Amino acid sequence: MGLFGKKKEETKGCCCGGNCNADTMAQAEAAKAAAGVKVLGTGCAKCNALEEAAREALSELGMDTTIDHVTDFTQIAAYGVMSTPALVVDGKVVSYGKVLKKDEAKALIQQVRK
């Protein structure tokens, strides 16, 4: 006899709420392994500000590297990032959850690309 109705069925899923499959996770892992500079985020003003700071830092360093802006949550979750914006340099998350200034981004890029 159930006084409070049916017991809710528990669903098991991954970090993206169960919306991914083997193909999307494989694509996310492949994108993660690629070298370069990436900004992870939804495309909000903070994400765009981080992208601009990273672009200026790369320009000052004389590096001709394109910046990818990743907005797909499955790919963001593959990096283990739960708060955006995040900055990824050569597959390594160097900052997350805050907007970096140009000098901070420059120092982090230099540190990774020694």
Q: Return the active site residues.
A: 44, 47
Beta-sheet strand order (sheet of 92-96): 67-70, 37-40, 86-89, 92-96
| Closest of 71, 102, 98 to residue 83, by C-alpha | 98
Structure tokens, 6: 């049916």
Quickly count: other Cβ atoms within 10 Å of residue 12's Cβ.
Answer: 5
| C-alpha 44 chain-centroid distance | 13
